[in-house]
Chains A and B, each alone.
Chain A
Amino acid sequence: MTSFDDIVIGGGHNGLVAATVLAKAGRKVLVLEAEDETGGAARKHEFHPGFRVSSVAHVLNRLHPDVVKALELDRLGLTLEGRTMPTIALAPDAGPVVLRGAYGETVDGLSLSDAAGWAELRALLFRQVGVLKPLLARRAPDLEAMSLSEKLALGGVALSLRRLGKEGMRDFLRMLLMNVDDVTGEFVENDALRGLLAFDAVQGSHLGPRSPTSLIGLYFRLAGEIGGAEGGQMLPKGGMGAVIEAMHAAAERRGVTIRAKAPVSRILIEKGRAVGVVLADGEEIRARTVVSAINPRTTFADLVGPRELDTGFLRKILNVRMKGNVARLYLALDGVPSFAGVAADDHAGRLVIAPSSNAVENAFNPAKYGEFSPEPAMEIVLPSLSDPSLAPGGACVLSANVQFAPYALKGGWDKGKPKFLKAIVAQLERCAKGIGKTILASELLTPADIEARFRMPGGHWHHGELQPDQMLMSRPVFGAGGYDTPIDGLYLAGAGSHPGGGVSGVPGMNAARRVLAEK
């Protein structure tokens, strides 16, 4: 029997990245994937005969350049050049605002004063993001024992903070924990633009634009870059599936063994050290280290188990907030829909229904009390326009993130789902008249469905709310914030770890580097 240096649990993108980085360093790596294929929440899904969609992650906006480089994804068929797509903030009455280039380098549809206000706000946000960006790329600072390189990196952050100048630093500290609604209100008036910024700040979280600290969500979004465009976004050639295919190929090229349909039931621990895993069918596989690229709560509460953990640590893990608020909608349409006021080419962009900052706040309000938004906010892409193989000729696929859909819906999702779907279609009709009649089939995944299908507790794509108390060294919890854990030889490598979710590959890459640094 082959013996492995490292076992990576979970063949999602972070698992594949971690495995490849480890294998590149000469280690023998085994990836164990519970499902039929790798890709996790970014894998392709055929929801209606001939209609396919990327399951959860439907836009690429933060795949880290170091990951692309380390895995040589560009040499494995991933094309990122020249595919940046615009964002269209839909406004059924006033006409859309279109952000082009790297998150609105140029903008259509704004008044002169708003255009100037946006330019100023955009520049300010990117200056501030420049301070945070290194923090969101590296391992979070270790308060107890910082290595020299960590100290230098943190010093670099301090230096970039200084470089903002006195006024800039003051502005940054003033804004850091503000809500996004107040910040955008200082610079622009346009409802559609403010709605878009509000939506981008709170997408994927349990916050409204007026919730304190909601601006951090926008910083996080803008700290992502793709194809050299800061804050940019794209659907690569071949769609999101192409990203996973390239990562899978990178892993195999480095000699990583990938086993699908191999769900792990237990992490083997001997004298406080992880020594391998037990699969659901009872097979035992041993290795020097175990890297868990799945949800941290699942990792500790289920696979490690309370008996090997301290009460205080388990308590923290079980208290990580990870109840999702985003529903996924797939529609099979018999033709390309027409969104009011949107140019034909721009339909291949990212279409956002968030008519105003208030509309997003109003959509959030019911979610606080376990109810879905009657007029939900949405991020829509039509992936078949960039990758025609996703739908039969002439037909179209619509993929949307719909907010807010609380994980624990009052009265249950069985009853609520048809009503929510109706509300969503009504909202779509407001922006694309007649779209309802073109629907051939639909699938709506509530956070509860996402939890079951993708093994994401709470159906939360970040595997833990991305808010200040659950970021940096407190992600997922203090004591496991640096990818290593209280169990020797067990590492975390998923979105539940710093810096968080989205297809970035950063948690996987950093975790692998941590493993390599320790032995």
Chain B
Amino acid sequence: MAKATKSTSARRDAQAHIEMLRLETPFHPRLEALSQQNDWYTWAGYKAPLSLWDEELEYFAIRSQAALFDISPMVKYRIEGPDAEAFCNRLTLRDVAKLKPGRVHYTAWCDENGHVLDDGTLFRLSADRFRLCCQERHLPWLMDSAIGFDVEVEEETETIAGLALQGPTSFAVLRAAGLDGVERLKPFDLATFPHKRGTVTISRTGFTGDLGYELFVDARQALSLWDRLMEAGRVHGIRAIGYTALNRARIEAGFIVANADFVTAEHAVRADRVRMPDEIGLGWMVDREKGHFNGRRAILKAREKGALRHVLVGLEVEGNVPAEHAIVYHKGKREVGLVSAAIWSPTAKRNIAIASLDRPYGDTVTDDLWVEIYAMRELRYVKLMKRARVVERPFVKLARRSATPPGDF
């Protein structure tokens, strides 16, 4: 009897992860202490803040100070071995042979039908070691893709903690934290720096279109890194922020989010919801000269046959009411697409949107586009039919993002 009780409790202990419906990231104790809003959402199974104290001011921390954002829930894989480059080249769209050690590139990967499975960043930590960061989990896909390659794939989402430090004073914060050499990092460079008894990997990357860095550290060193940055950043206006503020910055930068701006191939239930790279603005990644990669045949065939049906565009909408999830019309009548993300941009001072349109609209036919915005005004929808213009992304282009050496604000 006693034995049975013991085994039951042991079993229950081993299942603690089931009871914990939302995991906490290694930075959670600090976020929780700062959270005045108690405004959380679920990001890939983790508890993450939408805002901590004031979403407006958090946004302005990104654009005028330094914003610290916990990216630990981002899915991370270590890809290592003699065939790591060949593996990544077959897996993803861009030419990984051109990605030098110490560099990062933004890429995407597809299934055999050429439909995008996810987009993400590929970090080349050394000649034969990579880190792939993305939105969705892909371990079975990566393991099956490893057949025939001398490569090891390991999920490190839980063991590696990540922070994004973004904003004009982000470099100043890092320098003040004693991370010497960060000034040499050009956009998409990465390097390793000592932290405590271990190291922190810092890349000049981010999701805001601003000057900024991403820091990856062993989860056990997470809190000490957080404290180090907050301490150093005090005089540089460092603030912890939530996703609402970051989302605004990323829309301004014109970045897309998987399963928000497009549906990934493994999530799509409806046959027409999947997208090829060319249909979500990622056609430029497809490198037809580099050799075989997943989806190559299908993508090239679709291009050749003119079978691409959608296009993702940036829109500028008249007025100042965000057109979120508005239907897009041609000549105010024909339904041609949907807005997936929209805000009034405080930095661009424009009403901007990211939309998916059915070709040829947005591709060759770009005139006379309208969006229909339903604005709820005291229990009544005010329907606004607003003119929309296809514009270049990013909507906000900041010189400080790419200036090297980085500005010391």
Partner-B contacts on A (CB < 8 A): 269, 272, 301, 305-315, 318, 479, 486
Contact = CB atoms under 8 A, between A and B. Distances in A.
B90 A307 contact: yes
Contacts of B91: 311
A272 B112 contact: no
Given A272-B292, A272-B297, A310 B112 contact: yes
Interface centre among A301, A310, A479 (most CB of B within 10 A): A310
B29 interface: no
A472 B147 CA distance: 27
Interface string B136-153: 000001001101110000
Given A312-B294, A486-B297, A307 B148 contact: yes
A310 B148 contact: no
Contacts of A301: 148
Contacts of A272: 292, 296-297
Interface of B: 86, 90-91, 111-113, 141, 144-145, 147-149, 291-292, 294-297
B149 to A, nearest CB: 7
B112 A307 contact: no
Nearest to A486: B297
28 contacts: A269-B292, A272-B292, A272-B296, A301-B148, A305-B148, A306-B90, A306-B147, A306-B148, A307-B148, A307-B149, A307-B291, A309-B292, A310-B111, A310-B112, A310-B294, A310-B295, A310-B296, A311-B111, A311-B112, A311-B141, A311-B144, A311-B145, A312-B111, A312-B113, A315-B144, A479-B112, A486-B112, A486-B297
B137 to A, nearest CB: 15
Given A306-B149, A486-B297, A312 B112 contact: yes
B292 A307 contact: yes
A269 B291 CA distance: 10
A310 B144 contact: no
Given A314-B144, A479-B112, A307 B86 contact: yes
Nearest to A487: B297
B112 A318 contact: no
A314 B147 contact: yes
Nearest to B109: A311
A305 B292 CA distance: 11
A77 B310 CA distance: 61
Nearest to B86: A307
A309 to B, nearest CB: 7
Contacts of B144: 311, 314-315
Given A307-B90, A312-B111, A318 B148 contact: no
A306 B89 CA distance: 12
Contacts of B148: 301, 305-307, 314
Given A272-B292, A311-B294, A312-B113, 4 more contacts: A269-B292, A307-B292, A310-B294, A311-B112
Contacts of B112: 310-313, 479, 486
A314 B141 CA distance: 11
Contacts of B141: 311
A411 B112 CA distance: 39
Contacts of A314: 144, 147-148
A308 B292 contact: yes
A2 to B, nearest CB: 30
Nearest to B141: A311
Contacts of B291: 307
A301 B144 CA distance: 13
Interface centre among B148, B292, B295, B296 (most CB of A within 10 A): B292
Contacts of B295: 310
A312 B294 CA distance: 8
Given A315-B144, A318-B147, A310 B297 contact: yes
B281 to A, nearest CB: 23
Contacts of A309: 292
A271 to B, nearest CB: 8
Contacts of B86: 307
Contacts of B294: 310-312
Contacts of A315: 144
Interface centre among B86, B113, B294, B295 (most CB of A within 10 A): B294
Contacts of A305: 148
B287 to A, nearest CB: 12
Nearest to A488: B297
B267 to A, nearest CB: 16
A505 to B, nearest CB: 30
Which 4 pairs from chain A and chain B are nearest by CB? A306-B148, A310-B112, A312-B112, A311-B145
A314 B112 CA distance: 10
Contacts of A269: 292
Contacts of A310: 111-112, 294-297
Nearest to A318: B147
A103 to B, nearest CB: 42
Nearest to B265: A312
A311 B114 CA distance: 11
A240 to B, nearest CB: 37
A317 to B, nearest CB: 10
Contacts of B111: 310-312
Contacts of B149: 306-307
A143 to B, nearest CB: 13
A308 B86 CA distance: 11
A315 B297 CA distance: 17
Nearest to A306: B148
Interface centre among B91, B141, B148 (most CB of A within 10 A): B148
A299 to B, nearest CB: 14
Contacts of B113: 312
Interface centre among A272, A306, A311, A318 (most CB of B within 10 A): A311
B12 to A, nearest CB: 34
B357 to A, nearest CB: 26
Nearest to A302: B148
A290 B111 CA distance: 26
A313 B292 CA distance: 13
Nearest to B293: A310
Contacts of A313: 112
A480 to B, nearest CB: 11
A459 B144 CA distance: 24
Interface centre among A269, A308, A312, A313 (most CB of B within 10 A): A312
A146 to B, nearest CB: 16
Contacts of B90: 306-307, 311
Nearest to A269: B292
Nearest to B295: A310
A410 B140 CA distance: 28
Contacts of B147: 306, 314, 318
A313 B296 CA distance: 12
Interface centre among B90, B91, B295 (most CB of A within 10 A): B90
Contacts of A311: 90-91, 111-112, 141, 144-145, 294
A307 B148 CA distance: 7
B376 to A, nearest CB: 44
A479 B111 CA distance: 13
Contacts of B296: 272, 310
